[in-house]
Amino acid sequence: MDEVTRQKATPNEVDRALAHLDPDAGRPSNVVDVRSLSLQFGAKTVISDVTIPFERGTITALIGPTGSGKSTFLRTLNRMNDRVVGFRHEGEVLLDNESIWSSSQDLLSLRRRVGMLFQRPNPFPMSIKDNVVAGVKAHGIAKGRELDVVAETRLREVGLWNAVKDRLNDSPYRLSGGQQQLLCLARALAVGPEVLLLDEPTSALDPLSTEAVENLLRTLVPALTLIVVTHNLGQARRVSDRTMFFYEGRLVEHGPTPALFESPRDPDTARYVNGLMG
């Protein structure tokens, strides 16, 4: 037996060696795993017994009529409801197999790993550049000159760099609504989240800005996992891999986006995706 043959690695050894190269190796394929989750505000049950995995590196759209619990569900995933008076949860939300409510989970690092973009752009009252690096500074991820690099990288990533490079120290409030939303997205991305929650991120934007945001979302996967609430069914079809349909707090149906829209199994889903239910 020659030297090369004798040293040939077994398949297990190859897997172990590759595990060092693949950052996702050994991690669960579902980055977020929701199990038997029920959510209440006071006596009112807003989400009933939802079990759903979110596969790493995918975009999931949450659709359903107004008041069906989409925002409540989404906001729970990074514990935004915890401080709402009367809010209660039953069941579990696992992030990489660990409960988001476990005592070893600190809220700041949870929010760094699970970022959020809101319906209305909410730039902070500080310069454009400081907006992008606000979270990076707060988490101590970068400092000094590194912050300039972070700001430029993230502004380029969201396609804003050319529009703002000569006014980085100006207020963000003179930017258009679409540009402000892209700035908020740059700020959210700057801290390197694993999951991004988006609640109707384009409903306040014009069609061109909406298209810019939608195109950008597709470029963020598979590095990130996105969960997007939208009333825009065309948007759900264009950007998402999977869709979940909520109705009156229940997860009625979920599946690959084309299947859910083209051949829904549930009559309520069919009525909703065909525009027969508001």
Ligand X SMILES: Nc1ncnc2c1ncn2[C@@H]1O[C@H](COP(=O)(O)OP(=O)(O)OP(=O)(O)O)[C@@H](O)[C@H]1O
Residues contributing to the site for ligand X (CB under 6 A): 41, 46, 64, 66-72, 84
By beta-carbon proximity to Mg ion, the closer residue of 71 and 181 is 71
Please, what is the minimum distance in Å from the beta carbon of residue 229 to Mg ion? Answer: 6
Please, what is the minimum distance in Å from the beta carbon of residue 273 to ligand X? Answer: 15
By beta-carbon proximity to ligand X, the closer residue of 69 and 135 is 69
What type of residue sits at position 251? L
Bridge-based pairing state of the strands 44-55 and 30-41: antiparallel
Q: Which does 46 bind (CB under 5 to 8 A by kind): Mg ion, ligand X, none?
A: ligand X
Please, what is the minimum distance in Å from the beta carbon of residue 231 to ligand X? Answer: 6
Q: Which does 69 bind (CB under 5 to 8 A by kind): ligand X, Mg ion, none?
A: ligand X
Please, what is the minimum distance in Å from the beta carbon of residue 118 to ligand X? Answer: 11
Q: Which residues of 235-273 are buried (b: 16+ CB within 10 A; e: fewer)?
A: bbbbbbbbbbbbbebbbbbbbebeebbeebeeebbbebb
Q: Which does 147 bind (CB under 5 to 8 A by kind): Mg ion, ligand X, none?
A: none
- Cα angle 9, 12, 17; round to 5: 70
By beta-carbon proximity to ligand X, the closer residue of 87 and 133 is 87
Q: Which does 256 bind (CB under 5 to 8 A by kind): ligand X, Mg ion, none?
A: none
Rounded distance between C-alpha atoms, residue 38 and residue 165, angstroms:
46
Rounded distance between C-alpha atoms, residue 26 and residue 77, angstroms:
23
x/- mask, Mg ion, residues 36-75, rule CB under 5 A, reads -----------------------------------x----
How far from chain centre, in Å, is Cα 137?
21
Q: Which residues of 35-59 are buried (b: 16+ CB within 10 A; e: fewer)?
A: eebebbeeeebbbbebebbbbbbbb
What 3-state DSSP class applies to 139? coil
By beta-carbon proximity to ligand X, the closer residue of 72 and 225 is 72
Please, what is the minimum distance in Å from the beta carbon of residue 232 to Mg ion? Answer: 13
